[in-house]
Amino acid sequence: MTVQLWTHCDIATLQAGHAVPYGLIKDGALLVEDGQIAWVGRRSGLPADQAARCTREHNAGGALITPGLIDCHTHIVYAGDRAQEFELRLQGASYENIARAGGGIASTVKATRAASEAELQAQSLKRLQALIAEGVTTLEIKSGYGLAIEHERKALRVARALGRSQPAEVRTTFLGAHAIPPEFAGRPDAYIDEVVRMLPLLHAEGLVDAVDAFCERIAFSAVQTERVFLAAHALGLPVKLHAEQLSDSGGAQLAARYGALSCDHLEWLSDAGAAAMAQAGSVAVLLPGAFYFLRETRLPPVALLREHGVPMAISTDCNPGSSPCSSLLLMLSMACTLFRLTPEEALAGVTRHAANALGLADRGVIAAGKRADFVLWDVAHPAQLAYAFGSNPRLQTVFKGDLV
Ligand code: DI6
Ligand code: FE
C-alpha cells in the first residue's frame, strides 16, 4: 500500500465555506492513500505521524493544485459535424429555423445512426482526450443522437467504454427526449411513449446514471417532459433538464418538483424558476459555449441565481450544433467574460458545483476523505486559469491517486 505525499505546491481546495478565496493553502501538503486524500493542509502543519507513513514523495515544483475538473454536461458521443449549418447561420438562418426544417439535431441523428459502434467511439475519443488534456477527471455524457433503442444503446455503450479506457470517470445520462426522430414526425406523444419504453431496458443493461430531456418549443412540452421524469423516478433515477434555453417554458419549476440534480442553460429562467431551484437544491448549469456559438444576447440571470443561493456549475455542453467545443478551460474564461462570474465562482463551477450537478459527493474539492483526483498547473494564482484564455497550463493529472 502506498501513501504518497505531495509538497512544494499551493492548493486551491475549493472547499465550501472556506475562509480564504479558493480555499487556497499556500505552501501546502497533500497526503494520498488508497486513491483518497488522507490529509491536506499547510506543509508546516503536517503531523509527524502522518508524514512518517509516507512511502513516496512528490515535489510539485511550485505548481498550483486544484481538484480534477468536472465537465457535468456533454454530448460528446456523436458522429459527423455541422459546419455547414454554421455557415447557414452566419448567412442569417436561425438555430430554431434550421431545426424546424429538419436540420439541426436531426442531421446529427442521421450521422450517428449510420456510424458503427467502433466509428462512434473513435470520433468521440478525440473529444474526450481533449477534455482530459485540460485536466478533466470526471465528465457526464448524454445520449440523444440515437433516438431509437439500438442507437441510444450504442451511444451509451460507447460512453461507458470511453470511461473504461481513459483516465476519467464517465457518468451517463439518457437523453432520449432530445428531439423527435423522423419516424415519429408530428407524433411527439407517441415518441414519448417510446422513450418511456426504452428507459427501463437501457437501465437494466446498466447504461443509465441519470435522465435528461429538452423542454423547449422546438422539442418537448412540460407535460411530455414530466412523463419522462415519472419513468425515471419509477426506476429511482435522478433527473436533470435542458430548461429555458430559448424560451421560458417553466421547465425549471417542473424539474425542481422532481428534485432535479440540475437545470441547464437557463438564459430565460424566471424568478419563480430560480426560487423553485433553490428550494429543490438543483444546481444551475451554465453553458457559455452555447450562448457564444448561437450568438445569444439574453444572459442567464446570474444575479438572480446568486440572490437565491442557487449553486452555479459551468460546462462545455460539447455537441455538434450549439457548442462544438471540448475546452473546459475556455468555458472558465467565457463564464467570466460573458456571464460576469468571478474566476472563483467559475472554478467552483467546474469542480465543487459540477460534482453536485452529478450527485457525486466524493469529489470536486480537495479535502480529507475525498477522491484523489487533482491537477497540477503551471500558474501562480487560480484566477490565471480563467484569465489566460486559449492556453493550457496543465502540468500533470492525478486520477484516483495515481499520476496519469
Ligand atoms: N440544447 C443544446 O444546446 C444541445 N442540445 C440541447 O438540447 C444542442 C444539440 C444540437 O444542436 O445538436
Ligand atoms: Fe446540452
- On the question of pLDDT at 254 being above 80, the answer is yes
Give pLDDT, residue 103: 87
N-to-C CA span, the chain: 18
SS3 state of residue 349: helix
The arithmetic mean of pLDDT across residues 350-363, rounded, is 98
Q: Is 319 in the pocket of ligand 1 (CB under 6 A)?
A: yes
In the Cβ-directed half-sphere of 1, how many Cα atoms lie within 13 Å?
A: 8
Q: Is 179 in the pocket of ligand 1 (CB under 6 A)?
A: no
Q: Is 288 in the pocket of ligand 1 (CB under 6 A)?
A: no
Amino acid letter, 9: C
* Residue 39 pLDDT level (bands cut at 50, 70, 90): very high
Query: What's the gap in Å between 26 CA and the centre of ligand 1?
Result: 41
Nearest ligand 1 atom to the CA of 242 is: 7
> 91 to each of 87, 95, 325, 331, 343, how far by Cα in Å?
6, 12, 21, 26, 35
Which of 99-103, 196-200, 290-294 has the weakest average pLDDT? 99-103
Cβ neighbours for 104, distance < 8 A, ≥ 6 positions apart: 82, 85, 95, 98, 179, 321
Cβ neighbours for 341, distance < 8 A, ≥ 6 positions apart: 286, 302, 312, 314, 335, 349
User: Backbone phi, then psi, for 377, in 5-degree steps?
Assistant: -120, 145
**C-alpha–C-alpha distance, residues 310 and 301, integer Å:** 11
Q: Which of 88, 145, 178 to mutate to test the pocket of ligand 1 (most atoms within 8 A of CB)?
A: 178
Query: What's the gap in Å between 105 CA and the centre of ligand 1?
Result: 7
- On the question of pLDDT at 367 being above 80, the answer is yes
Q: What pLDDT digit, counting tens, does each position of 375-384 carry?
A: 999 999 999 9
Give pLDDT, residue 222: 96
Give pLDDT, residue 102: 83
* Residue 18 pLDDT level (bands cut at 50, 70, 90): confident
User: Backbone phi, then psi, for 32, in 5-degree steps?
Assistant: -120, 130
Point out the ligand nearest to the CA of residue 95. 1
Q: Is 320 in the pocket of ligand 1 (CB under 6 A)?
A: yes
**C-alpha–C-alpha distance, residues 353 and 364, integer Å:** 7
Q: Exposed e or buried b for every residue in 125-150, given b needs 16+ CB within 10 A?
A: bebbebbbebbbbbbbbbbbbbbbbe
Query: What's the gap in Å between 144 CA and the centre of ligand 2?
Result: 10
Give the whole-number percent of the chain exceeding pLDDT 70.
Answer: 100
* Residue 193 grid cell: 411513449
Q: What pLDDT digit, counting tens, does each position of 219-232 carry?
A: 999 999 999 999 99
- On the question of pLDDT at 1 being above 80, the answer is no
pTM for this structure?
A: 0.97
* Residue 270 pLDDT level (bands cut at 50, 70, 90): very high
* Residue 2 pLDDT level (bands cut at 50, 70, 90): confident
Q: What pLDDT digit, counting tens, does each position of 286-322 carry?
A: 999 999 999 999 999 999 999 999 999 999 999 999 9
**C-alpha–C-alpha distance, residues 332 and 309, integer Å:** 20
Which residue lies with its CA nearest to atom 11 of ligand 1? 321
Residue written as cell 407535460?
223
Q: Which of 107, 142, 175, 214 to mutate to test the pocket of ligand 1 (most atoms within 8 A of CB)?
A: 214
Q: Is 104 in the pocket of ligand 1 (CB under 6 A)?
A: yes
Point out the ligand nearest to the CA of residue 81. 1
Residues 3/54, Cβ–Cβ less than 8 Å: yes
Query: What's the gap in Å between 214 CA and the centre of ligand 2?
Result: 8
Query: What's the gap in Å between 196 CA and the centre of ligand 2?
Result: 20
> 332 to each of 73, 349, 378, 389, how far by Cα in Å?
14, 8, 16, 8
Give pLDDT, residue 327: 98
Overall size of the chain counted in residues: 404
Q: Is 245 in the pocket of ligand 1 (CB under 6 A)?
A: yes
Q: Is 286 in the pocket of ligand 1 (CB under 6 A)?
A: no
* Residue 27 pLDDT level (bands cut at 50, 70, 90): very high
Residues 326/130, Cβ–Cβ less than 8 Å: yes
**C-alpha–C-alpha distance, residues 196 and 327, integer Å:** 33
Query: What's the gap in Å between 310 CA and the centre of ligand 1?
Result: 23
Q: What pLDDT digit, counting tens, does each position of 56-85 carry?
A: 999 999 999 999 999 999 999 999 999 999
SS3 state of residue 70: strand
Give pLDDT, residue 353: 98
* Residue 364 grid cell: 470536486
Mean pLDDT of the chain: 97
* Residue 120 pLDDT level (bands cut at 50, 70, 90): very high
Q: Which of 77, 86, 105, 291 to mutate to test the pocket of ligand 1 (most atoms within 8 A of CB)?
A: 105
Q: Is 242 in the pocket of ligand 1 (CB under 6 A)?
A: yes
